[in-house]
Amino acid sequence: MQSRAPLFTPVLIVGCVIIIISFAVRSTFGVFQIPIAEEFGWARAEFSMAIAIQNLAWGIGQPIFGAIAEKIGDRKAIVMGGLIYAVGLVLSAWSTTPLEHQLYAWFVGFGVAGTGFGVILAVVGRASSDENRSMSLAIAAAAGSGGQIFGPPMAEWLLSMMNWSSVFMIFAAAILAVLLTLPMMRVPTPATRAELEESMGQVLIKAFKDPSYTLIFIGFFSCGYQVAFITAHFPAFVTELCGPIMPGGMLDNMGISTASALGAVAISLIGLANIAGTLLAGWAGKRYSKKYLLAGIYTGRTIIAALFIIFPITPTTVIIFSVAMGTLWLATIPLTSGLVAHIYGLRYMGTLYGIVFFSHQLGSFLGVWLGGRMYDVYGDYTLVWWIGVAVGAFSAVVHLPIRERPLGTPAPA
């Protein structure tokens, strides 16, 4: 009788730690929107462009780091990403012009690519058994929300004691410190003989010719748009538009007495709810069709976002929205990465998922940049919010025709 492979392995644990720290830092940039803009007297679009470029660089860097990991080793790729991430944060800490922030955002974005989902999920996917892979990917994705839970409130707390540039330096030190866990990450490379014999170019050509890969690529766009827009602009959105927090009420008694604090906490609530949502998605992905689960997630996001913007924005609706959207926040990650692994194999999963993730980051770039641009033009975020509702509905439909079986497998009779 064979013993079951363990779910929690050193690879999974270290991967989660790296993602937690990487995403804790990445999720804080929306908190810096107002402090940086007020210090330098910038329009909202200036720092929004830096965040947008960061997301675009993350998308461009994802397949690059995936390919680097598959060529020279996962740990070397992660070290490279961590060093670039820290350099970008240090340079940004000393930046005093919009152009400098936008230039160094490329370093930060590439650093996130080297320490984020693309490389780590590929490592975790290859190191997991078939029975545990869906849940392992979900746990690693949920770790991103673990960072999101404490990242923004930590940034808000640090900002109460020091200026934003000092906070950036602390974040750079944290990124470097987490690299010390890498010696524990020794990764096997399970693959079939056919996968080992195929070159990366052959696999990419097959994927690019497959309509399902195109649909996965297109469908992931709206996830990036919605997630990045909310991460970058929701704290400012809540700060400016939310109704007053009642003195002596539950939030006030918890120390959340300003709309600014509520905005930071809202991002944390999204992350907290997403841990449960992502783990549930991993559990469901092992048992049900991933494409239909993804279509359902995008439908749910569309409805939640539409209802939130229709009704008056109060502390109560902010909390309800954060929890509801949080349950669907990164639930797309284990399902999308799992779908790529299921259809195209594990050997070049990092590169193939990285290319799909580029679509996610194109959406991120547009969501962040458009949010800042529309705010400067119209004075609010209403139009860009409704665009997010529309692209979410589009993604729900796009996932339905995907052929969910290994490439080359004939359709069932």
The stretches in the chain having pLDDT less than 70 are 1-5, 187-200, 252, 408-413
Residue that the structure tokens 């997991």 belong to? 128
User: What's the rounded Cα separation, in Å, for the pair 207 and 408?
Assistant: 11
Cα 383 from chain centroid? Answer: 23
- The rounded radius of gyration (Å) of the Cα atoms in the chain is 20
Reported pTM: 0.75
- The contacts of residue 130 (CB under 8 Å, 6+ apart) are none
CB 80 within 8 A of CB 158: no
Could you give the angle at which helices 211-219 and 349-378 cross, rounded to 10 degrees?
Answer: 40
User: What's the rounded Cα separation, in Å, for the pair 114 and 372?
Assistant: 27
What is the model's pLDDT at position 2?
46
What is the model's pLDDT at position 198?
62
User: What's the rounded Cα separation, in Å, for the pair 320 and 273?
Assistant: 11
What is the model's pLDDT at position 4?
67
What is the model's pLDDT at position 410?
55
Within 10 Å of residue 290's Cβ, how many Cβ atoms?
Answer: 26
SS (H, E, C) the chain: CCCCCCCCCHHHHHHHHHHHHHHHHHCCHHHHHHHHHHHHCCCHHHHHHHHHHHHHHHHHHHHHHHHHHHHHCHHHHHHHHHHHHHHHHHHHHCCCCHHHHHHHHHHHHHHHHHHCHHHHHHHHHHHCCCCCHHHHHHHHHHHHHHHHHHHHHHHHHHHCCCCHHHHHHHHHHHHHHHHHHHHHCCCCCCCCHHHHHCCHHHHHHHHHHCHHHHHHHHHCHHHHHHHHHHHHHHHHHHHHHCCCCCCCCHHHHCCCCCHHHHHHHHHHHHHHHHHHHHHHHHHHHCCCCHHHHHHHHHHHHHHHHHHHHHCCCCHHHHHHHHHHHHCCCCCHHHHHHHHHHHHHCCCCHHHHHHHHHHHHHHHHHHHHHHHHHHHHHHCCCHHHHHHHHHHHHHHHHHCCCCCCCCCCCCCCC
CB 187 within 8 A of CB 126: yes
Q: Per residue in 78-125, pLDDT tens?
A: 999 999 999 999 999 898 888 888 899 999 999 999 998 778 877 887
Residue in 20, 38, 267, 322 with CA at minimum distance from that of residue 153 = 267
User: What's the rounded Cα separation, in Å, for the pair 169 and 155?
Assistant: 12
CB 236 within 8 A of CB 265: no
CB 139 within 8 A of CB 277: no
User: What's the rounded Cα separation, in Å, for the pair 229 and 188?
Assistant: 37
What is the model's pLDDT at position 203?
75
